[in-house]
Amino acid sequence: FVLRRSSLTIGELLGQGSFGEVRRGVCKGRPVAVKTLCPKLDVRSREGKELLKEIEMMSHGFKHCNVVEFYGIYEHGGLPWLVMELMPGGNLEHYYETKKQARRSRQWRPRISRAVSWVEDILSALTYLHSQTPPVFHRDIKPANMLLSADGRSIKVGDFGVSRREPGYNLTGTTGTFRYMAPEIYRGEADYTTAVDVYSFGLLMWFIFAGGHPFSNMDGHAVAQLA
């Protein structure tokens, strides 16, 4: 999975955060997304460890039409770059915001047929991940991690930075996004199951059909406490 520099061309910036960025690229003739870590950080930081975990998880080579495909890694300046399938439609959260801005409205909902199709895509991906041996716990199912095709018709699940693949459901720890976090994760319970993703999936359906985050009048931490 280690890529040569000659096989990778880095292009325009697609997204940026305080811990890294995602750029458009071309690898062996196909368009890709390249996820990098900020040079000021290192692999021992929390963000660095999450990127390494994502690389480890994606290296299992998941093959499903609704899971973002992993192509390999490229090492630059001692830091790993994650090279994966490019989803030109961006993430679902940004897609909704763009639609609202275009209509100068605080409300926007997709056609029911489109929303149902998206839900089926996500459910298919989760069924596949949970059926692996051992099962894959995504642990951060939310709109920003649902990535759209260029025409917006299909969705793939991405961002496996906090995902785990554990035998015997031996999982503990608080991780994920508060607004979409299952109660057992928030409470720090031991040995939770793939039901944590099902809970988050339910809230994600709220977002898809209602056109906004659940309990949008409350901050995410308060939503988790309420649950």
Q: Can you say which residues are annotated as belonging to the binding site for ATP?
A: 35
Q: Which amino acid is at 216?
A: S
Could you give phi then psi for residue 15, rounded to 5 degrees? -165, 150
Taking the C-alpha atoms of residue 227 and residue 223, their distance in angstroms, rounded to an integer, is: 6
Catalytic residue numbers, as ranges: 140
Picking from 224, 152, 144, the residue whose alpha carbon sits closest to that of residue 188 is: 224
Residues in binding site: 35
Residue 77 contacts by C-beta under 8 Å, 6 or more apart in sequence?
Answer: 39
Query: For residue 43, what are its two tokens?
Result: 């692999």
Is the link from the previous residue into 134 a cis peptide, with omega within 30 of 0?
yes
**Which contacts of 38-47 are long-range, i.e. CB under 8 A and separated by 24 or more positions?**
39/77, 39/79, 42/78, 42/79, 43/78, 43/79, 43/80, 47/19, 47/20
Task: Kindly write down the DSSP assignment for every residue of 74-137, as one continuous string.
Answer: EEETTEEEEEEE--TT-BHHHHHHHHHHHTT-S-----HHHHHHHHHHHHHHHHHHHTSSSPEE
